[in-house]
Amino acid sequence: NQQELSLSCVVDNNKEHHTDEVSQERLVVRRGQNFKMTLTLMQSFNPELQQLVLTAKTGDQHASEDRGTLSRFGYPDSIRRSSSAKAMWKVEPLTGFSLPSNTVALSVTPPADAPVGEYELFGKLQEEEKSLGKLVVLFNPWCSEDSVYLFDDRTRQEYVLNEHGIIFRGSANYIFPGEWDYGQFEENMVDICLKILDRNHKHDEDPADDVASRSDPIYVSRVISAMVNSEDDSGVLEGRWESPYTGGRRPTHWSGSYPILKQWYQSGCKPVKYGQCWVFAGVMCSVMRLLGIPCRVVSNFDSAHDVDMNLIIDTYIDYYGVNEDYTEDSIWNFHVWTEGWMKRPDLGSDGEYDGWQVVDPTPQELSDGVFCCGPASVKGILNGQTGFKYDAPFIFAEVNADCVYYMITESGEMLKVDSDTKRVGKYISTKAVGSREREDITNTYKHAEGMSHSVVHAVPRWKPLSIHISVQAMNYNGRPTGKILAEDKEETLLPGKGDSSSGEMLAFRSKHLRVWPKLSACLDSVNLHHFPVSSSSVCPHPGPVLDLP
């Protein structure tokens, strides 16, 4: 008996739900907030004699009340539901204005814990059930009952609705801003982001459980972290940290997320080539904001990569430089990740660890068998809670790891020659709310540094500077400063071109840049040569000079 579902309120609904920039043509609502609809019937409707039953479902044939992916609700509401039913929708009549007797105006509210995604809405009057249309349900940072609720309107404007951002790159001595267009409201972004959720390996393994779990921003952000990279799925971006960039574009080409996401979507979900940390993070931020999870991009300078997760960056030095056979630990000149805003009931009922959570889509280490990272509570990192989910020890080390240096003697003995507790995790930065300025948020990750400590034995004090250049390629707006080498350049380092006041020279390898006293190196087309030098020594191999200020 249903003749027509009128979505004449789409524009008004979307505006009230802060989704009018997402679409003007389809209904996109946020959970925990009502939307309005009118239903035109073939005959008059009397709620005292008749019942209109509505059904909302997501996940196709896998939908069920027990999982919260199907909800039956009615006007008047006398629906018998399963005792274990979750995420129940509700409907109420809209009153206060005149309508024909065969038209019903309704207020429908998805619960604040509904799984996000595309839903189909069905209506049933007497025996006939009919599809009334489709709608998309997103997270709702404007709803106090939603686990992504953000209490301040200025921060919601910045971290959910703002399409234009700044990502900070460079080095601790030279931080520069780079424009990034998140483009979360561009054409088809809803479909692109929902496709990302549907393509994740957990959906392939158990579609019903995956769709039901989309009620939880912890789960959703973890899925996005895995899907933005292409290491173990048909993810969005393929990473590459050295030339050649054959078959794609170098990471410095990109200045926004939408061209990357659009290419992935239109190519049948083939990974886009190529990305590095700031590109991965920018793309993830776009997807998070579209889905309604407040998100920001964060840059960490002198960022540790603690492979063995012992919270120490171990460096082993022999006469000719760092011996990499002993460890894969390293320090990156900068690394970029995202933070998502959400509650963490899994970390305690008092809410102490709610708020910003680190979620890193750059493929670094496996987490539960997948290349993803987080979410890890920023407050937990500050408090040293390395036992927390997810990947807290790895992220804690990125900003707090101690650097310990060992010298390997000619006899093979290892001597601890130095340690540095202040080297890692500097100038942790994000774009300030409502401005283009850099906001330093280091104090949200780590307490003020204490007194430095070092252990110096009766051997020369070596000063390795292990910067993971091949992983964090640089793009400078101007002349680089500090001991940093730009991407894709082979340099010959001549004696006397280092810091003359300290007598230090540079030793260059294809993947690392280090500082040694009285030690220099040059790189010809085939071999890497290390040799002790004096200030008057001359390198026999011609080539460009890295002239540091």
In this structure, are strands 355-359 and 512-517 parallel, antiparallel, or unpaired? Answer: unpaired
Which of 17, 193, 269, 277 is labelled catalytic? 277
Which of 335, 354, 372, 512 is labelled catalytic? 335
Give the residues across from 123 on adjacent strands: 54, 130
Whether the CB-CB separation of 35 and 10 falls below 8 Å is answered with: no
Q: What are phi and psi of 216, to 5 degrees?
A: -110, 115
b/e string for 396-421 if b means 16 or more Cβ within 10 A? bbbbbbbbbbbbeeeeeeeeebbbbb
CA distances from 109 to 130, 156, 162, 326, 393 (A): 20, 22, 26, 59, 40
Terminal-residue alpha carbon distance, the chain: 81
3-state secondary structure of 443: helix
Contacts for 228 with CB less than 8 Å, ≥ 6 apart: 196, 235, 236, 237, 280, 283, 284, 287, 361
Whether the CB-CB separation of 335 and 276 falls below 8 Å is answered with: no
Question: Closest by alpha carbon to 234, among 259, 210, 264?
Answer: 264
Q: What is the DSSP string of 212-272?
A: HHTT-HHHHHHHHHHHHB-SSSS-SEEE--SS--TTS--GGG--BSHHHHHHHHHTTSPPE
3-state secondary structure of 93: strand
Alpha helices by DSSP H, listed for 433-486, are 442-445
Tokens of 162: 């703002």
Contacts for 189 with CB less than 8 Å, ≥ 6 apart: 22, 183, 258, 261, 286, 290
Sheet bearing 321-322, strands edge to edge: 321-322, 312-318, 402-408, 414-420
Which of 210, 360, 391, 418 is labelled catalytic? 360
Q: Distance between CA atoms of 232 and 371, rounded to whole angstroms?
A: 7
277 annotated active-site: yes
Q: What are phi and psi of 220, to 5 degrees?
A: -65, -45
360 annotated active-site: yes
The residues assigned a catalytic role are 277, 335, 360
